[in-house]
Structure 1
Amino acid sequence: MSTRTRNSLLLLLSASLAQAAPQPHIPRKEGIQWGACKHETGGLPVECATLAVPLDYTNSSSDETLDLALIKYPAQNGPSKGSIMLNFGGPGQDGLNSMIAYAPIQGPITGGDHDLVSWDPRGTGQTLRFQCFEPEELGQTYLAGLPDASDVSPGKIWAEATIVAKSCGERLKDTGDLVGMAFAARDMMQIVDALGEDGMLRYWGISGGTALGSTAAALFPDRIDKVILDGVMNVHEYYHKSGETNIVESVDATFEGFIAACFENPKKCPIASLYGSADEALSAVEKLFEKLKYEPIPVFAEGSPPFLIDYSIVNSLIYSTLYRPSDYQFLSIALAALLAGDIDALVKILGSSSGVSAIPVQAEAVMGIRCGDKIPRADKLSDLDELEEEFHAMSKWFPGFARGAYVYACAQWPFEAKERYEGDFNVKTSNPILFIGNTYDPVTPLVSAQNMSAGFEGSVVLQHNGFGHLSIVQPSNCTNEIIAQYFADGTLPKEGTVCEPNVPLFGNDEELPTGGEEPEATATQEVPAPTDDAYEETPAPTAGAE
Structure 2
Amino acid sequence: MTTYARTRTALLLAAVTAASALTAVAFAPAAGAAGAGGTPALVWGPCEPAGGPAGRECARLPVPLDYSDPSGPQVTLAVTRLRAQGPAPRRGTLLAVPGGPGGSGVQRVTERGEALRSETEGRYDIVGFDPRGVGGSTKGSCSLAEEDRYMLTLRSWPAPDGGIDENATRSRRVAAACARNGGPVVRGFTSENQARDMDRLRRALGERKVSVWATSYGAYTTALYAQHFPRRTDRLVLDSSGDPDPDRLARGWLANMARGAEDRFPDFAAWAADPPAGHRGLRLAERPEDVRPLVTDLAARLDRAPRRAVNSDLPLNGNALRQALQSALYGDGAFAGFAALVKEAADPDGSPVLPPELAGPLPDTDAAVTIAVICNDVRWPASVEGYRSAVAADRAAHPLTAGMPANITPCAFWKDAPTGRATRITGEGPSNILMIQSLRDPATPYTGALKMRAALGDKARMVTTGRGGHGVYVPGRGACSDRAVAAFLNDGQRPAHDTHCAD
TM-score by length of 1: 0.75
Look up the equivalent residue of 1:83 and give its one-letter code.
T
2:373 pairs, out of 351, 363, 369, with 369
Identity %: 23
1:156-188 CA distance string (max 9 Å, x none): 122111111101111123333222111111111
More moved, 47-56 vs 226-235: 47-56
- 1:219–1:161 Cα change, 3 Å: same
State the partner residue of 2:98: 88
Give ranges in structure 1 of 5+ residues lacking alignment: 1-24, 502-546
Q: Distance in 2 between matches of 1:129 and 1:189?
A: 20
- Matching of residue 478 in structure 1 with residue 480 in structure 2: yes
**Which aligned segments of 4 or more residues in structure 1 are displaced greater than 6 angstroms?**
358-361
- 1:237–1:269 Cα change, 3 Å: farther
CA-based RMSD of the aligned residues comes to: 3.3
State the partner residue of 2:64: 54
1:123-173 CA distance string (max 9 Å, x none): 223333122127xx5266566245234237521122111111101111123
State the partner residue of 1:388: 391
CA contact (8 A) 2:133 2:365 kept: no
Alpha-carbon offset, residue 108 of structure 1: 3.5
Look up the equivalent residue of 1:465 and give its one-letter code.
G
SS in 2 for 1:259: helix
1:4-153 → structure 2 map (5 Å cutoff): 27-28=37-38, 30-42=40-52, 44-59=54-69, 62-78=71-87, 80-133=90-143, 138=146, 144-145=152-153, 146-151=156-161
Q: Distance in 1 between matches of 2:227 and 2:284?
A: 51
Q: Distance in 2 between matches of 1:360 and 1:162?
A: 17
- 1:89–1:283 Cα change, 3 Å: same
Alpha-carbon offset, residue 314 of structure 1: 1.0
CA contact (8 A) 1:202 1:226 kept: yes
- 1:140–1:241 Cα change, 3 Å: closer
CA contact (8 A) 2:94 2:126 kept: yes
- Matching of residue 195 in structure 1 with residue 198 in structure 2: no
Q: Distance in 1 between matches of 2:452 and 2:411?
A: 23
Alpha-carbon offset, residue 85 of structure 1: 1.1
Give ranges in structure 2 of 5+ residues lacking alignment: 1-34
Alpha-carbon offset, residue 342 of structure 1: 5.0
- Matching of residue 335 in structure 1 with residue 345 in structure 2: no
- 1:39–1:372 Cα change, 3 Å: farther
SS in 1 for 2:438: strand
SS in 1 for 2:493: coil
Q: Distance in 2 between matches of 1:204 and 1:220?
A: 16
- Matching of residue 290 in structure 1 with residue 300 in structure 2: yes
CA contact (8 A) 1:180 1:417 kept: no
Q: Distance in 1 between matches of 2:342 and 2:424?
A: 43
- 1:306–1:32 Cα change, 3 Å: closer
Look up the equivalent residue of 1:56 and give its one-letter code.
D
State the partner residue of 1:424: 424
Q: Distance in 2 between matches of 1:337 and 1:238?
A: 43
Q: Distance in 2 between matches of 1:450 and 1:48?
A: 37
Q: Distance in 2 between matches of 1:491 and 1:359?
A: 43
CA contact (8 A) 1:109 1:480 kept: no
Q: Distance in 2 between matches of 1:139 and 1:331?
A: 24
State the partner residue of 2:328: 321
Q: Distance in 2 between matches of 1:399 and 1:305?
A: 23
Alpha-carbon offset, residue 49 of structure 1: 1.1
1:252-290 CA distance string (max 9 Å, x none): 121122112333447565588553322223222221111
CA contact (8 A) 1:201 1:224 kept: yes
The structure with the larger Rg is 1
Alpha-carbon offset, residue 93 of structure 1: 1.7
SS in 1 for 2:152: coil
1:230-270 CA distance string (max 9 Å, x none): 01121216854745322332211211221123334475655
1:338-360 CA distance string (max 9 Å, x none): 3454514x45x979x9x99x999
Q: Distance in 2 between matches of 1:117 and 1:485?
A: 20
Count residues in correspondence. Answer: 461
CA contact (8 A) 1:372 1:416 kept: yes
- 1:82–1:359 Cα change, 3 Å: farther
1:401-436 CA distance string (max 9 Å, x none): 5455xx511111111369x87343123222321111
State the partner residue of 1:223: 232
Look up the equivalent residue of 2:449 and give its one-letter code.
A
CA contact (8 A) 2:42 2:205 kept: yes
1:363-413 CA distance string (max 9 Å, x none): 2211111110122241x4213245435644663311445455xx5111111
- Matching of residue 172 in structure 1 with residue 174 in structure 2: no
Look up the equivalent residue of 2:232 and give its one-letter code.
R
1:172-221 CA distance string (max 9 Å, x none): 23333222111111111111122123x11311111110111111111112
Look up the equivalent residue of 2:171 and give its one-letter code.
A
CA contact (8 A) 1:226 1:486 kept: yes
TM-score by length of 2: 0.81
Alpha-carbon offset, residue 306 of structure 1: 6.4
Q: Distance in 2 between matches of 1:250 and 1:232?
A: 12
SS in 2 for 1:467: coil
